[in-house]
Amino acid sequence: MDFELSDDEAALAEAMRRMCQSRFPLERVRAGEGRRVVDADQWRALAEAGVFSLRLAEDDGGAGLGTAHAAVVFEELGRALVPGPLVATHVAARIVKGAGTGEQLVGLVHRPPMGRVLPVVVADLASLGAVLVVDEQGVHQLPPEALEAEPIDHGLDPLTPLWRLATIPEGAVVADAGTARELWRDHLVLSAALLVGMASAVAELATEYAKQRRQFDRPIGSFQAVKHLCADMLVRAETARASVHAAAVTIDQPDVGDALRAGAGAALLASDAAVANAKACIQVHGGMGFTWEVPAHLYLMRAALVSRGLGRAQRLAEVVAERL
Amino acid sequence: MDFELSDDEAALAEAMRRMCQSRFPLERVRAGEGRRVVDADQWRALAEAGVFSLRLAEDDGGAGLGTAHAAVVFEELGRALVPGPLVATHVAARIVKGAGTGEQLVGLVHRPPMGRVLPVVVADLASLGAVLVVDEQGVHQLPPEALEAEPIDHGLDPLTPLWRLATIPEGAVVADAGTARELWRDHLVLSAALLVGMASAVAELATEYAKQRRQFDRPIGSFQAVKHLCADMLVRAETARASVHAAAVTIDQPDVGDALRAGAGAALLASDAAVANAKACIQVHGGMGFTWEVPAHLYLMRAALVSRGLGRAQRLAEVVAERL
Amino acid sequence: MDLRYSEAEETFRAGLRAWLTDTIPTLGAAPSPHDWPARRAYDTAWQRMLYDAGYAGIDWPAEVGGRGASPVEQLVYLEELERAHAPYVGVNFVGLLHAGPTIVVEGTPEQRERFLPGILKGDAVWCQGFSEPDAGSDLAALRTRAVRDGDDYVVSGSKIWTSHAEVADYCELLVRTSDEGPKQRGITWLAMPMDAPGIDIRPLRTIAGSNEFAELFLDGVRVPVANRVGEENDGWRVTMVTLSFERGTAFVGELLQSMELVGELRALARRTGAWEDAAVRAQVGRLGAELDALWGLARRNVSQAARTDVPGVGGSVFKLAFSELRQRLAQLGQDLLGAAGLSWGELEADDGSGPLGNARLLDVWINSFSRTIAAGTSQIQRNIIAERILGLPKG
Amino acid sequence: MDLRYSEAEETFRAGLRAWLTDTIPTLGAAPSPHDWPARRAYDTAWQRMLYDAGYAGIDWPAEVGGRGASPVEQLVYLEELERAHAPYVGVNFVGLLHAGPTIVVEGTPEQRERFLPGILKGDAVWCQGFSEPDAGSDLAALRTRAVRDGDDYVVSGSKIWTSHAEVADYCELLVRTSDEGPKQRGITWLAMPMDAPGIDIRPLRTIAGSNEFAELFLDGVRVPVANRVGEENDGWRVTMVTLSFERGTAFVGELLQSMELVGELRALARRTGAWEDAAVRAQVGRLGAELDALWGLARRNVSQAARTDVPGVGGSVFKLAFSELRQRLAQLGQDLLGAAGLSWGELEADDGSGPLGNARLLDVWINSFSRTIAAGTSQIQRNIIAERILGLPKG
């Protein structure tokens, strides 16, 4: 038992962080505001870094790595606010040809119950080559043209274009119900990894600001009220990170636990951590936190977007409760 | 509209506080630890002060005062941790002969659903002259001997003896369903008043300690972490107080609002305030808060006892939700 | 304790309600929040209507042209305006609620004559130049400097968080006129004409995507000494005095609007089926109970102000509790909206039952984050409560 | 990251599990918590059994008679003991986990020889004399004084929060030997024999009604200089060094026990029907998810200790999160018990389905309040995290 990052996990995380720093510095990510399509060069860079293929077998063009490796990679992507259908394309790579190589961008949708009132939303539709619909029967694949969709003018996350789906046709069944459950579970865990990256990024942002910003002739970080806000941010991020890593390892090593319980728990805690930390980051920044300039809000909006894709917190908690 | 205490409400509160200070100083209240019966002299003093009769008409031996008056009185009784079936006897005074004068002590029980698992508990059974059972049919009166009851050896609140009821016979119907609802509503509001008194008492206890206790060469109350614990205690107590007073006035002036919504809300907030403040009071006292000597725990136990008598918080919140 | 309104109060309410019933339908559509000139025109036209009907400066003394209403009448006024969905005070905010009251108490007769009627009639719009990039919670650290030159002060520096700067006629400005003694001492209060040369206004984009605030850059702006309210270096006291005008009614409009919001959340939960979930009902019920309690606290604070004519200590308690509650309320709205919460544009329900109300709930959510920061952060409010109400020692 | 145990670790686990399976049933009933001599006898007999089986001092180096287990083996040890419901370390706590490790690192060869075997075999019980009435969170402010007199120190003062004082043979005592320099400087670490004249032990009643703690009043107690561990005035460093013995396993037993508790709460909710309520299920699920996460954090901390041989920064993070979680867990237990939570005595269910488990849940609830205070309050933990991990400036 060694729950620290292995040397190659640490090296992969480090490489991914460097790649994000050079390819996705915050000013470049922010420059994508208002875009309706995913930047092809950026996507190619992600594919070349193995983001979509790393869990595929080497014979299938992948790196044959585990979910633990994927988790540390997605944590870095979350930290850097990298846009696009990252998790969906990654989990679809085992099904959709060209997803692993970056030729196809893929969307993932959980089929909602009939007679619903609230809309179903999908990101980056204009860039997608396929949409996978997950339901109790299994996984259905649809060409994006088959979906009746309407663009959302002004989405919450300024860096992610959204479409609202009017109808979701049946589509071809491409995998069974067991695979559908695995896809959804992996989607939970890797989305949670993105969220943990965000939770950490805003904790650091707030801590740095608390060291620099002076009021009453002292750094505000010397006031316990601010200090404790920052400490609580770290606790939330580290707790969520442990839960995401445990869930990822449990997918790779099924006999150490229940991967769905771990995945639902990780999704619950990482959503909470990312949203709560982004709010706390705004609070630590005071008025500046309410400005467009400080990126705290970009993390808040992205965290809201990603966590909304995991279903209601109440439901995730019930999944854990049922499997305790 | 004048939601401050009227002169006679303020005078009544002041008189009640003085009475509690002389009749129920904390040392004397604490000396009752382990008692199985209510002290007759103390009960007489309460009756003489009008605690049980103040809302009865003057013709019925009462003072003809309103629920607002009763609320300020019960707040003082809560603050002083006065023991005994105070609220039950007060609300029963309109039904049970001798309750208002202090000759009869009364218990109040909400009839539980059939086939239950969790026990029904009643306080001070050995001292009671009557038990009122409230259900959907109305109010039933029973002599305590009619109840099959078993003493609880060691109750949570060291100042309140408890019995567990095995069976609750039907008993004589003494009032209709409407009266039953009123009794329960008044029981909620006056119990909430007791709880607000406790919430304030522990807020003051913690604040005083934070001023006196020194660590790191400063009063601990000069540390923001402690300061903010105390500030939050005050906010909880004052918010709950406003809600209890509003509920009491709404009983007296039915056209200003929905008294049951107000009562359920007051019970919810006052329970939370009393329990959360008692916990915070222990925390502010540090290790001393965990000693028998510091009375924080007596407030915690009494708050737990009284709030348990109001039903589950979840249910109180639902009552409010249904009546918004 | 009495929650019934007196006959006089009910008469006041009835008159106001009748006037609102007649007047509100005559108003045009509210302008886009991004169109400042249209907002000024709309808000000041509404102010003029209030003025003509005798409701301008509801809490201002009659001798300066106000209504001279009691605190309770002021509460009734806010209740009725909220009930009628009347326009918000908007660009008149600083004039009516801050600069005007300051001039009422601290201005000379000439200054009152010169500045107050314009505020009441909607002819003059004011903005506020208090905070600076390095003087936020620590306002007294402000560094914008004014140097006396003949009959003028020459002002240089920068201000931040200024609302309606683009359309304001005057700015209530705090400047540093001395570095001697405690930093609170060397501050002076000026009424700066916004058309003076040397003022550069730069909009500040917020996380809501709006330009609700601006930064002001002041470079040698000349402000006549006649525009100074109070003595030189006495501006801190002058500003604090304004707070004594507060009668427990701050945030009451928003509180009442929040109660309406809870009703909307309940309706939304019923439409989506979430109401079947006991946990959702309990969350809504708890928020409702807390709002009821804060409405009680607001009426208590107003009653105290009515009796004593000084603001109760309850203001910080109310502000802290309400701003935190508002955030939870806004978050519940987002939780109930699911994916619909991701769109700023209004969406229709998938079952054909009409608009979901998501645009407004999203707006409430975004703006809720400023609630625990603006007008004193929650951390500062807790300090105030601990030190001024509970008497705990300064840190 | 690897959550599978190695073959060696699994072998260690299998051996331990087999031994526990054989041994636990042979134990007598646990004594009353109020009977100190019986508790000593029970706990030390268990320690002797561990010793004889080679499991005493699981984390102590082999050269002083310990098992010399790796941090991961220590984790397995704690897992298996919890799984088997083995006795808690009890009166051996201070000796095995605090005083002993201090002597291992800082004691002379003679001191190791003299003190350590007794701890491992359960022959010697230790208690702790660190905190004082005026030195709690601020431990370095301690004032119990020791004055050198020939080959002895003469000690006077008082100590508080001393567990098992009534049955201890030794007390690890911090005393002030100098007032010069920073207050941390003049502190000395002594092993005080509890049978020395001048020690008055007064039980301290807790809110749980127990006498788990005592106050020690010391009046001219003579402690041989030979019992001093480390140099005179170097006791603060000596004490801090002990912390480096911590390998991320503190509170792991309680964490595992909390996971079992969640299962009990689920069973209780199913019996009472509360499980029908989605809100209750969600509360239980959330607590379960948080415990799973903390179990991950514990394994991370242990892995870090295994790699680096120094305690990770995760200890304060874990302690803060776990103690707050434990309080919420305990409160949920009370909420689910309804009126049954009001009785310290075990109650039977009204439907004849047997005991409700209320006595244990009440005990958990009461004791949960000490969790956020003992071993560093939550406030102190947040300071540590902010200052030592995040590098925020001291207040």
Q: What is the pLDDT of residue C80?
A: 98
Which residues in D41-73 are b (16+ Cβ under 10 Å) and which e? bbbbebbebbbeeebbbbbbeeebbbbebbbbb
- For the segment A266-305, what is each residue's pLDDT rounded down to a tens digit? 999 999 999 999 999 999 999 999 999 999 999 999 999 9
CB of D293 less than 8 A from some CB of C: no
Provide the pLDDT for residue C244: 66
Co-location of D277 and D226 in the same domain: no
Contact A106, A89 (CB under 8 A): yes
* A74, A247 contact by CB (below 8 A): no
Average pLDDT, chain D: 95
Position B34 in a domain: no
Of B125-129, B165-169, B199-203, C94-98, the poorest mean pLDDT is in B165-169
Cα C222 to chain centroid, rounded:
28
Secondary structure of A201-213 as H, E, C letters: HHHHHHHHHHHHC
Q: Is residue B233 part of a domain?
A: yes
Is D151 found in the same domain as D228? yes
Give the CATH number of the domain where residue C175 resides: 2.40.110.10
**What are the Cα distances from residue C349, in Å, to A307, B19, B116, B291, C262?**
21, 62, 43, 58, 20
SS3 at position D14: helix
- Does residue D331 share a domain with residue D259? yes
User: What pLDDT was estimated at residue D311?
Assistant: 63
Q: What single DSSP character describes residue A129?
A: S
Judge whether D103 lies within some domain.
no
Does residue A197 lie within any of the structural domains?
yes
Is the separation of the CB atoms in C314 and C345 below 8 Å?
no
Stretch D265-282: mean pLDDT: 95
Q: What's the CA gap between A251 and C166, in Å, rounded?
A: 57
How much is the pLDDT for C312? 63
Kindly determine whether residue D300 and residue A268, on different chains, have CB atoms separated by under 8 Å: no
In single-letter form, the type of residue at position B299 comes to Y
Residues C72 and C155 in one domain: no
Give Rg (Cα) of chain D. Answer: 22
Element (H, E) at C156: strand C152-163
Within a domain: A57: no
* B88-147 pLDDT per residue, tens: 999 999 999 999 999 999 999 999 888 889 999 999 999 999 999 999 999 999 999 999
* pLDDT confidence tier of residue C311, bands split at 50, 70 and 90: low
D241 in any annotated domain: no
Report d(CA D170, CA D226) in Å as an integer: 14
The answer as to whether D109 is a domain residue is no
pLDDT at A115 over 90: no
- For residue D313, pLDDT over 70 is answered with no
Q: Are the Cβ atoms of A228 and B225 closer than 8 angstroms?
A: yes
Q: Which residues of chain A neighbour D285 with C-beta distances below 8 Å?
A: 265, 268, 316-322, 324
Rounded to the nearest 5°, which phi and psi values hold at B171?
A: 80, 170
Residue C4 β-bridge partners: none
* Same domain, residue pair C70 and C134: no
> How many domains are there within chain B?
1
* C256 and C383 share one domain: yes
Reply yes or no on whether the pLDDT at D243 is more than 90: no
pLDDT 10s digits, C222-249 = 999 999 999 999 999 999 887 766 778 8
pLDDT the model gives residue A113 = 83
Q: Cite the DSSP H helix spans in C125-247.
A: 235-243
Mean pLDDT of D327-342: 97
Percentage of the residues of chain B whose pLDDT score is greater than 70:
100
pLDDT of residue D312: 63
Which CATH number covers residue B192? 1.20.140.10
Using the predicted structure, report yes or no on whether residue C361 has a pLDDT greater than 80.
yes
Q: How far is D278 from chain C (nearest CA, A)?
A: 7
Percent of chain A with pLDDT over 70: 100
% chain B with pLDDT above 90 = 97
pLDDT of residue C241: 83
Residue C2 domain-assigned?
no
Of the residues C79, C215, C246, C324, which is catalytic?
Answer: C246
CB contact under 8 A, C278 and D282: no
Nearest to C392 among B207, B256, B257 (CB): B207
* Residues C256 and C339 grouped into a single domain: yes
Burial of A34 (0-12, 13-18, 19+ CB in 10 A): exposed
Q: Helices marked H in D32-179 — which ranges?
A: 36-53, 71-83, 93-94, 100-106, 109-121
C83 part of a folded domain: yes
- The parent domain of residue D167 ranges over 126-232
Q: Is residue A304 situated within a structural domain?
A: yes
Q: Is residue D299 part of a domain?
A: yes
Cβ of residue B218 closer than 8 Å to a chain A Cβ = no
Smallest Cα distance from C278 to chain D, Å: 7
| Domain extent for A258 | 179-322
Determine the pLDDT at residue C313.
66
Interchain proximity D350–B116, CB inside 8 Å: yes
At B115 the pLDDT is 83
pLDDT recorded at residue D51: 98
Residue A88 domain-assigned (yes or no): no
Residue A43 lies in a domain: no
Q: Chain D residues with CB inside 8 Å of A7's CB?
A: none
Instruction: Give the three-class secondary structure for A313.
Output: helix
The answer to the question of residue D141 being in a domain is yes
- Convert the pLDDT of each residue in D137-187 to its tens digit: 999 999 999 999 999 999 999 999 999 999 999 999 999 999 999 999 999
Asked whether the beta carbons of B118 and D337 are under 8 A apart, the reply is yes
Q: Are C33 and C90 in contact (CB under 8 A)?
A: no
- What value does the mean pLDDT take over residues C382-395? 94
Task: Classify residue B8: in a domain, yes or no.
Answer: no
Q: Please indicate, yes or no, whether residues D148 and D218 belong to a single structural domain of this protein.
A: yes
Q: Inter-chain contact D339–B290, Cβ cutoff 8 Å?
A: no
Global confidence as pTM: 0.97
For C215, phi then psi, to 5°, come to -100, 145
Q: What percent of chain D has pLDDT over 70?
A: 98
Residues C214 and C266 in one domain: no
Please say if the pLDDT value at position D375 is more than 70.
yes
The set of residues, in sequence order, having a beta carbon less than 8 Å from that of D348 and lying 6+ positions away, is D354, D355, D356
CATH of the domain at D279: 1.20.140.10
Counted domains in chain C = 3
Categorize the per-residue pLDDT at B60 as very low, low, confident or very high, splitting at 50, 70 and 90: very high
Q: How many angstroms separate the CA atoms of B227 and B233, rounded?
A: 10
DSSP state for residue D275 in the 8-state scheme: G
Q: Are residues C220 and C268 in the same domain?
A: no
Chain B partners (3+ C-beta pairs within 8 A): A, C, D
Q: Given strand A172-176, what is the order of strands in its sheet?
A: A106-110, A130-134, A138-142, A172-176
CB C278 within 8 A of CB B314: yes
B178 touches chain D (CB under 8 A): no
* pLDDT one-digit tens code per residue, D186-224: 999 999 999 999 999 999 999 998 888 999 999 999 999
